[in-house]
A and B are shown apart, each in its own frame.
Chain A
Amino acid sequence: GENVEQHPSTLSVQEGDSAVIKCTYSDSASNYFPWYKQELGKRPQLIIDIRSNVGEKKDQRIAVTLNKTAKHFSLHITETQPEDSAVYFCAASNPSSNTGKLIFGQGTTLQVKP
Chain B
Amino acid sequence: DTGVSQNPRHKITKRGQNVTFRCDPISEHNRLYWYRQTLGQGPEFLTYFQNEAQLEKSRLLSDRFSAERPKGSFSTLEIQRTEQGDSAMYLCASSSSMTGGPLVGTFGSGTRLTVV
Chain A residues packing against B (C-beta within 8 Å): 4, 6, 32, 34, 42-46, 49, 89, 91, 93, 97-107
Of the four ranges (under 10, 10 to 19, 20 to 34, 35 or more), the interface on chain B belongs to 20 to 34
In the complex formed, the residue of A with least CB distance to B106 is: A46
Chain B residues packing against A (C-beta within 8 Å): 31, 33, 40-45, 48, 50, 55-56, 91, 95, 97, 102-110
In the complex formed, the residue of B with least CB distance to A42 is: B109
Q: Are A44 and B31 within 8 A (Cβ)?
A: no
- With A43-B110, A101-B45 as contacts: A107 and B40 at CB distance below 8 Å: yes
In the complex formed, the residue of A with least CB distance to B50 is: A99
Judged by DSSP, the binding face of A is: strand
Complexed CA–CA distance, A91 and B108 (Å): 18
For residue B17, give the distance in angstroms from its CB to the closest CB of chain A. 25
Q: Which residues of the other chain, A, contact B103 by a CB distance below 8 angstroms?
A: 32, 34, 93, 100, 102
Q: Are B48 and A99 within 8 A (Cβ)?
A: yes
Complexed CA–CA distance, A45 and B1 (Å): 14
Q: Are B107 and A44 within 8 A (Cβ)?
A: yes
Q: Are B91 and A102 within 8 A (Cβ)?
A: no
Contact of B107 among A45, A49, A100, A103 (CB under 8 A): A45
Q: Which residues of the other chain, B, contact A93 by a CB distance below 8 angstroms?
A: 103
Complexed CA–CA distance, A32 and B103 (Å): 8
In the complex formed, the residue of A with least CB distance to B59 is: A1
Highest count of chain A CB atoms <10 Å: which of B56, B91, B102? B102
Highest count of chain A CB atoms <10 Å: which of B31, B40, B42, B107? B42
Q: Are B45 and A102 within 8 A (Cβ)?
A: yes
Complexed CA–CA distance, A59 and B110 (Å): 27
Q: Are A99 and B55 within 8 A (Cβ)?
A: yes
Highest count of chain B CB atoms <10 Å: which of A91, A101, A104? A101
Q: Are B109 and A98 within 8 A (Cβ)?
A: no
Q: Are B43 and A89 within 8 A (Cβ)?
A: yes
For residue B90, give the distance in angstroms from its CB to the closest CB of chain A. 12
Q: Are B44 and A104 within 8 A (Cβ)?
A: yes
Q: Which residues of the other chain, A, contact B109 by a CB distance below 8 angstroms?
A: 42-43
Q: Are B104 and A34 within 8 A (Cβ)?
A: yes
